[in-house]
Amino acid sequence: MAHDLIFRNAHLVDGSGAPGRVADVAVDGGTITAVEAGGSLAGAGAGRVVEAEGLLLTPGWVDTHTHYDAQVTWDPYMTPSGW
């Protein structure tokens, strides 16, 4: 099946709290239609392919903006503050 867009081998963090993983993500008509293990969609055709190895892929509602840049000097895990 040909897809509109495939992100290949992206580091996927889905916001569920599960650990990130390497995945292929297919998009059709603006909707995510497949999330498979990295490399699984290598044979699938697509109008556009983004080779995303080494890049972070998250849903649009995951806010990656923080002000924890100095916190790393005293907390190497950058533990969330809760507020």
pTM for this prediction: 0.71
Position 23 scores a pLDDT of 97
Residue 52 lies in a domain: yes
Q: Which CATH number covers residue 23?
A: 2.30.40.10
Position 35 scores a pLDDT of 95
Residue 79 lies in a domain: no
CA 3-59-32 angle, 5° bins: 25
Residue 32 lies in a domain: yes
User: What is the domain range of residue 19?
Assistant: 3-58
Measured distance CA(32)–CA(10) in Å, rounded: 14
Number of domains in the chain: 1
Position 64 scores a pLDDT of 67
At 7, list the tokens: 């992100």
Sequential pLDDT tens for the chain (83 residues): 699 999 999 999 988 889 999 999 999 999 999 999 999 998 888 999 999 999 999 887 666 676 666 776 777 777 776 65
Position 82 scores a pLDDT of 62
The torsion defined by the Cα of 52, 38, 63 and 76, in degrees rounded to 10, comes to -100
DSSP conformation letters of 4-61: EEEEEEEEE--SSSSPPEEEEEEEETTEEEEEEETTTTTTS-EEEEEE-TT-EE--TT
